Structure 1
């Protein structure tokens, strides 16, 4: 993948009533987790923001009838800086974070992606940060290498097949069509970023498949 000139990251860890975009020039990090080793809280990712791009995003959304606003104080949550620290460790690419709206559903988020699709032609990477399965009630007490639970594996198989087949109708209706969907996503926020990426591209493909702790799918997808 070519190096992007900027990154728009849709994070499951920021939820708002209407779409919101971080417009801070130098966002701080938010360590929005607990109970981990001290080293994790000392990690940094000093990537710059992009206030001009943030304003453009709100205009692109509003042009499609989607209300949007700017947040000039928020920093990057771990849904942004954890993957980017691995992808672009130099932290020298401008990053703008976009929130999800759990109460508005998949079609709303696909429409956000469609509104932002033109940014891809300008070298902007649209990065969706969430999780293909996310039932933390079954996470605790399991070893990192535990085999996947049957309900999680079945949903992960269905999701990968639907993405590869570009079956958008099934994906948008995942809560009814995806096997064990309510069990895999008791709350929707970790699945919704996927629809922004889907809406911003055309044909989907599977980049990676794996499980950790037997319940969290590490699947990754791309739309081209």
Structure 2
């Protein structure tokens, strides 16, 4: 079995399903990588300490958004549970003295299922979600590093966030394809160059090193999953590629694959 890729993707909101370009990009991406044995997702939308393992059997999704049309709350994604993967996560993290909890009723949130619906629509691959116990980049990087052995078992590790994320500065009246504001394009360019250069130190210190960091991420939960992905791929960081770029309502949807 070849070593599985690691992804960081910008997951969009539920209306991502209405964007023909983005959905096609996600579908094409999934077909370009080896089919995983299971998928482990860290989403911007689940912060809980200690690190918590979600449901290991199929349970209802978490519709963690408000004010959308009813049909977005009717989406289903009955992916198989992943109890064996949960066991491996516990083993890898407990051996490193990382505290762990379980939430067997907690289903996939929209940061997990929205992109999975597009990438693996048959919902036939086991999916497990774990929480972010902190937003500290260095701590998340270490969690990713501890989980890296899963790659050799065919597990696709996915950090799901958004490369820039400032909802209060969005201008939806301009449409999804309008030119991005400077704060979003500047941060996107800096992040692209930092990842290509393998400058992990600068990325971990992005709140001080990146231009417009406070505007691009007033709160950092959507950038934070990147550090789990970086940690899980630390020994192959020279094999990274930006698979999706561009902007959606002014937000950078840049997404990465680490091989």
Scaled by the length of structure 1, the TM-score of the pair is 0.95
36-45 or 5-14, which deviates more: 36-45
For structure 1, which segment, 27-36 or 128-137, has the greater mean C-alpha deviation from structure 2 after superposition? 27-36
Pairing partner for 2:248 from 185, 189, 212: 212
The one of 149, 160, 171 equivalent to 1:118 is 149
From 11, 19, 22, give the equivalent of 2:43.
Answer: 11
Whether contact under 8 Å (1:113, 1:199) holds in the other structure is yes
Aligned to 1:146: 178
Distance in 2, Cα, partners of 1:81 & 1:105: 24
Q: Which residue does 2:109 correspond to in 1?
A: 77
Structure 2 counterpart SS, 1:189: helix
Does 121-130 or 69-78 show the bigger shift? 69-78
Q: Residues 41 and 128 of structure 2 are in contact (CA less than 8 Å); yes or no, is this contact kept in structure 1?
A: yes
Q: What is residue 162 of structure 1 aligned with on the other side?
A: 194
- Matches of residues 63-142 of structure 1 in structure 2 within 5 Å? 63-102=95-134, 104-142=135-173
1:223 equivalent to 2:258? Answer: yes
SS in 2 for 1:152: helix
> Structure 1 residue 46 and structure 2 residue 78: aligned?
yes
* CA shift for structure 1 position 23: 3.5
Q: Which residues of structure 2 form unaligned runs of 5+?
A: 1-32
Counterpart secondary structure, 1:7: strand
What does the per-residue CA deviation read over 1:183-212, in whole Å, with 9 as the maximum and x for residues that have no partner?
Answer: 111111111100001100122321121101
Query: Which is worse superposed, 135-144 or 38-47?
Result: 135-144
CA contact (8 A) 2:55 2:107 kept: no
Normalising by structure 2, we get a TM-score of: 0.83
Deviation at 1:73, TM superposition (A): 1.1
User: Is the CA contact (8 Å cut-off) linking 1:58 and 1:70 kept in structure 2?
Assistant: no
Deviation at 1:167, TM superposition (A): 0.9
Match of 1:145, SS state, is: coil
Q: Is residue 20 of structure 1 aligned with residue 49 of structure 2? A: no
CA distance in 1: counterparts of 2:56 and 2:153, whole angstroms: 21
- Pairwise CA RMSD of aligned residues? 1.2
1:38 deviates by 2.0
For the 8 Å contact 1:207–1:219, the answer to whether it is kept is: yes
Query: With CA pairs under 8 Å and 6+ residues apart, which has the higher RCO, 1 or 2?
Result: 2
